[in-house]
Amino acid sequence: MINPLLYFLLFLKASLFSTGGFSNLPSLHQDLIGTGWAVEAEFGESIAIGQISPGPNGLWVISLGYLTYGLPGAALALLAITLPPLLVLVVATIYGRIERLHWVAGLMRGVSLGVVGILITVCWTILRQPDIDWKGWAIAAAAFGLASNRRIPLIAILGLAAVAGYVLYR
């Protein structure tokens, strides 16, 4: 049985301690699998739906909310991802005051390196799912290569991946 308040707080925590659309994945993964409120497959499915649907990639969390807890889950997820970015108003004010301090550049460098590490763990989290075999890795590599060409729209790459999945796994 899902506790709505705790459910919301887990999503809020994941959003609050993340930067970028997917870096909340490891935290949500730890918590929702731990509480038994989500199963492994729902993460991959939400990311796929989030990739297809319009808007920031971070809206994948709304489909995770919908898949695990229906419309209330989607609404709680939407609220949880809308509140933390409001802190940008505070960040803009503070940064205006401290950007010349000598230690701020080092802090930003540390954060940037951490963000790269977190992005790599997101790829890893998706790719180590049980139903992803060597063909899945090949699709991931092909998508990586195609996406490097800015002129190919992402939706076309996802369409090709869908066709590949249908042909390879049907």
Partner 1 sequence: MEKREAGAPAPTTWTILRVWTGIGLQSFGGGASTQLLIWRTFADRYGWVEAEELVRFWNLCQITPGINLVALTILIGRKLGGARGIVAALAGLLLPSAAVTCGLAAGFLAVQHDPAVRAILRGVVPATAGIMGLVSVSFARPLWRSVRSEGRRSLAISAVLVPASVLAIVLVRLPVAIVLAGLALLGVALFTPRHGLGPEHPASDPAGEGRAP
Q: 3-32: which residues touch partner 1 (CB under 8 A)?
A: 13, 15-24, 26-27, 30
**What is the smallest separation between the CB atom of 1 and partner 1, expressed in angstroms?**
20
Structure tokens given for 63: 């489909």
Q: Which residues 84-143 are close enough to bind partner 1 by CB under 8 A?
A: 84-89, 91-92, 95, 100-124, 126-127, 129, 131-132, 136-137, 139-143
- The residue count for binding partner 1 (CB under 8 A) is 105
**What is the smallest separation between the CB atom of 18 and partner 1, expressed in angstroms?**
6
- By beta-carbon proximity to partner 1, the closer residue of 1 and 100 is 100
Interaction of residue 52 with partner 1, rule CB under 8 A: yes
- What distance in Å separates the CA atoms of residue 22 and residue 105, rounded to the nearest whole number? 24
Using CB under 8 A, pick the residue from 71, 97, 130, 151 that binds partner 1. 71
Using CB under 8 A, pick the residue from 51, 69, 76, 151 that binds partner 1. 51
- By beta-carbon proximity to partner 1, the closer residue of 3 and 119 is 119
- What distance in Å separates the CA atoms of residue 163 and residue 170, rounded to the nearest whole number? 10
DSSP designation for 5: H
- What distance in Å separates the CA atoms of residue 58 and residue 55, rounded to the nearest whole number? 8
Q: Let me know: does 24 contact 46? Beta carbons within 8 Å.
A: no
Phi, then psi, of 35 in degrees rounded to 5: -85, -10
Which long-range contacts (C-beta less than 8 Å, at least 24 apart) are formed by 137-143? 139/164, 139/165
